[in-house]
Amino acid sequence: MKKEISSVLGKIGKKSGLFIVLVVLMAIQALALDREAVTPVIVGLSFLAFIVKLGLALWVYLKNPSAKVNKFFAIVFLGQALWDFGKFVMWQIFDPAKALTWGKISYTGYILSVFCFLCFVWAFLKKKNLFNNTPAGKAVFYGVMIAVLVSLWTTNLVLEDVAERDGFSSEGYVLWSYDYGPIYNYFFLWFQILPFVYGLVLFLIKYFQTEEADTKKQLLYVIIGSLFPIVIGIPTGVILPAMGFVLPPHNNILTLILSVFLTIGIAKYKFLDVQPVGEQGKPEKLSEEFKTQFHMDYSKYYFVRHQKSVEISYKVLLNYLAQKHYGLVITTKAPDKIRQEFGIKTTPIIWMTDSETENLSVDPVDIEQLYETIHQFCKKVGNSFIMIDGLDFLVQHNNFSKILHFLQEVKILVENNKGVLIIPEGNLQMDKMQERLIEKELISLPYSKNVLSALQRAEKMLEKKFRSYNHVLLGFNAVTESLLEELEKEGLKPLIVTTKNINHHIPKENFTVIKGDPLSKRMLIKAGVNKPGTLVIITLDEDSEAILAINKVRQLSESTIVVANINNQDFVPIAQKAGATYIVPSSSIGGRLISLTLCAPNAVRWIMDAITLANRTIELVDIDVTKGDRFEGKNLKTSDDLLGIAANIIAVKNNTGLHRIPLDDYIIQPGDHLVLIANLSPLKEKKPEQVRKAISRLTFNKSSKAQKGKKKKRT
């Protein structure tokens, strides 16, 4: 430990000259060779301590107002700031009566800080005892504090008077000293020592008990900071004055150093430094139907809604972890129970609890710590699977709006780091509005049976054809990564042309990389895009580059199949003219919502569905529901029955957003926008616009006499 303390002190000394300045100034105060000259310095340092402590208290509190550690830290150092400000004003007053009043203001802050420092220690270490965990204990603890404060202001039992400190007066300043009463001399004098000594002892015990490296680093800062007021402050500020040795005021500087060290410990090492560990548990063998119902993709976020949502979520997670992914589990249950019940062996588990534990843990109200822990983990390893088991627990300890915002922030992390977020419904109770908000933010699993059957038909039809191609991927992004995983399962080894460095968990022998510009003709020839039986998949980030790539491939070969992902609907006609065989618009809702790809956001299915559309057996169609439509007031199941084999509804867009694979009991209202999979065979139509009209005829408007006439004629 001595070596570690020296290391921490060395780093701090290098990074901050503030501590060196403070120590030198303290030495000047202690020596006090010219007391009159040092008095203005002492007064100035008191104001500096007030500003710094006030700023740190507010900053730490505002970082996370819900966390008990942050609350008690703020109270302690707001009290300390009041202590310093009271002395700063007091030392500039020459009237003893007014100086005594400011002395009482100063001591009000000090008394608050001493008592609340104990609360900070208990919150920091998650210690529960009689005084912080029972109503009677709290009444006694805070009752004593209030009694001391009342005595300070209504009697002379704490402070009797002030007296001019010999030799420390100078022009404009009087460093008053106190005449203490019996409560101070016989109680508070010794009581104020106990919280700091007690806290230091608990911090040391925790340091030697814990095996968590991150916790040890955090405790080192806390321990070193606590040593200043104990080792220097108690002897020079309490014991020596009681024995008649009067030194210049300096405890405000010692507690200032304490506040800085505690702030570093909270801010720098507050967040858990979780190391990714490969999973060694053996997954349960899952049926293909189960895998399809609960399939997950990179950069996505899933809400598992099922009677056994927790059990299913762990099964799915363990299966993905067994495929060389890294994962992080955040749960309300003890980690040992999770490992025993669900077979998670080595994946790190964080326990959401407000009790002291040797496991990795986070307080359920400390949302900032939870977010930052996930953030740090996602940064360390891409394609990671994050599971939050206990959404109901988080809502219970916070509120739904706060947790919804938390999920929105975690979604951004997952998207940026190409990870996957899994949240089982568990015991979460929601009203209708909350359900709609969750559906808007997360993809609900399992998928609809109607959509799954359509998907399975398409996959079976194209499995042989898809396998027969030589696969060349131009570009590398989240879609490419998802596709790589699926190709590995199929035993296919694609060739990738990209300028990026590929960092992927799939073994490098399962794909080939040509490092170079995918828009270079020389690179395309090297990749073999002009060879017969080649399927080129363009997943470049910019639409303009994708169109240029289509042109380049077409210059080399007219027979190569080219599938291009286009983000902007306006560029689709240009890509078609450039020579793309199939185009997948990924951001369309007003037109052809191909981003749904027959139900699942999966890269290989995206490609397969694109080819399916070319066979003209399935078409994606969108229609607006108006007042009087046959669908109005009906649920999705009934509406699907009306459509029969002609079409299935796979998405609804309403005023709350886009809902992929909505629940069967969803009631369709005027203004809703429906997206359907249309089966072209029974409709006997070939062109997309004709298909759209055919489907629209199924949803005729009852209020239109003209349409009624047409309906009778067709009948």
We report the CATH number of the domain holding residue 305 as 3.40.50.300
Concatenating the DSSP letter of every residue in 640-701 gives HHHHTTSEEEEEEEETTEEEES--TTPBP-TT-EEEEEEEHHHHT--SHHHHHHHHHHHT-B
DSSP 285: P
* Chain segment 390-437, per-residue pLDDT in tens: 899 999 888 888 888 899 899 888 888 888 999 998 888 888 888 888
Q: Are residues 32 and 68 in the same domain?
A: yes
Of 27-36, 349-358, 600-609, the one with minimum mean pLDDT is: 600-609
Tell me if 194 is assigned to some domain. Answer: yes
Q: Are residues 307 and 434 in the same domain?
A: yes
Confidence of residue 441 (pLDDT cuts 50, 70, 90): confident
CA–CA gap between residue 154 and residue 606 (Å, rounded): 78
Tell me if residue 30 falls in helix, strand or coil: helix
We report the CATH number of the domain holding residue 147 as 1.20.1070
Q: Are residues 437 and 465 in the same domain?
A: no
Tell me if 66 is assigned to some domain. Answer: yes
The answer on pLDDT for 639 being more than 90 is no
DSSP 517: -
User: Domain ends where: 537, 563, 581?
Assistant: 581
Range of the domain at 679: 616-715
Number of domains observed in the structure of the chain: 4
The answer on pLDDT for 107 being more than 90 is yes
The residue ranking higher by pLDDT, 202 or 612, is 202
Mean pLDDT, the chain, whole residue set: 76
Q: Degrees (nearest 5) of the Cα angle 512, 517, 522?
A: 85
Tell me if residue 351 falls in helix, strand or coil: strand
Q: Is the link from the previous residue into 688 a cis peptide, with omega within 30 of 0? A: no
Tell me if 609 is assigned to some domain. Answer: no
- At residue 328, the pLDDT reads 93
| Cβ burial 147-174 (10 Å sphere, 16+ → b, else e) | ebbebbeeeebbbebbeebeebbbeebb
Q: Are residues 20 and 51 in the same domain?
A: yes
CA–CA gap between residue 323 and residue 306 (Å, rounded): 24
Q: Are residues 431 and 518 in the same domain?
A: no
The answer on pLDDT for 189 being more than 80 is no
- What value does the mean pLDDT take over residues 592-613? 35
We report the CATH number of the domain holding residue 515 as 3.40.50.720
Tell me if 599 is assigned to some domain. Answer: no
- What value does the mean pLDDT take over residues 478-492? 71
- CB neighbour list of residue 715: distance below 8 Å, 6 or more residues apart: none
Tell me if 275 is assigned to some domain. Answer: no
How far is CA 133 from each of CA 123, 137, 140, 289, rounded to the nearest angstrom?
A: 11, 7, 12, 50
Longest dimension (CA), the chain: 113
Confidence of residue 368 (pLDDT cuts 50, 70, 90): confident
Q: Are residues 647 and 500 in the same domain?
A: no
- At residue 467, the pLDDT reads 66
Q: Are residues 506 and 537 in the same domain?
A: yes
How many CA atoms, within 13 angstroms, populate the side-chain half-sphere of residue 309? 22
User: Domain ends where: 389, 416, 445?
Assistant: 445
Q: Are residues 477 and 361 in the same domain?
A: no
The answer on pLDDT for 597 being more than 50 is no
- What value does the mean pLDDT take over residues 287-293? 78
Q: Are residues 265 and 298 in the same domain?
A: no
- What value does the mean pLDDT take over residues 154-176? 79
Concatenating the DSSP letter of every residue in 63-96 gives H-TT-HHHHHHHHHHHHHHHHHHHHHHHTT---H
Q: Degrees (nearest 5) of the Cα angle 142, 143, 145?
A: 65
Q: Are residues 35 and 184 in the same domain?
A: yes
We report the CATH number of the domain holding residue 672 as 3.30.70.1450
Tell me if 590 is assigned to some domain. Answer: no
- What value does the mean pLDDT take over residues 627-649? 74
- What value does the mean pLDDT take over residues 297-317? 88
Q: Are residues 82 and 131 in the same domain?
A: yes
* Chain segment 552-595, per-residue pLDDT in tens: 898 888 888 888 877 766 677 788 778 887 776 543 322 222 22
- What value does the mean pLDDT take over residues 641-649? 67
Of 37-41, 206-210, 335-339, 530-534, the one with minimum mean pLDDT is: 37-41
Tell me if residue 496 falls in helix, strand or coil: strand
Q: Are residues 538 and 644 in the same domain?
A: no
Tell me if residue 424 falls in helix, strand or coil: strand
Contact status, residue 659 vs residue 650, Cβ threshold 8 Å: no
Positive or negative, the CA dihedral 155, 159, 164, 166 is: positive
User: Domain ends where: 559, 581, 603?
Assistant: 581
Tell me if 250 is assigned to some domain. Answer: yes
User: What's the gap between Cα 629 and its chain centre?
Assistant: 43
Task: Identify the H or E element spanning 583.
Answer: strand 582-585
Tell me if 610 is assigned to some domain. Answer: no
The answer on pLDDT for 616 being more than 80 is no
The residue ranking higher by pLDDT, 67 or 556, is 556
- What value does the mean pLDDT take over residues 100-112? 93
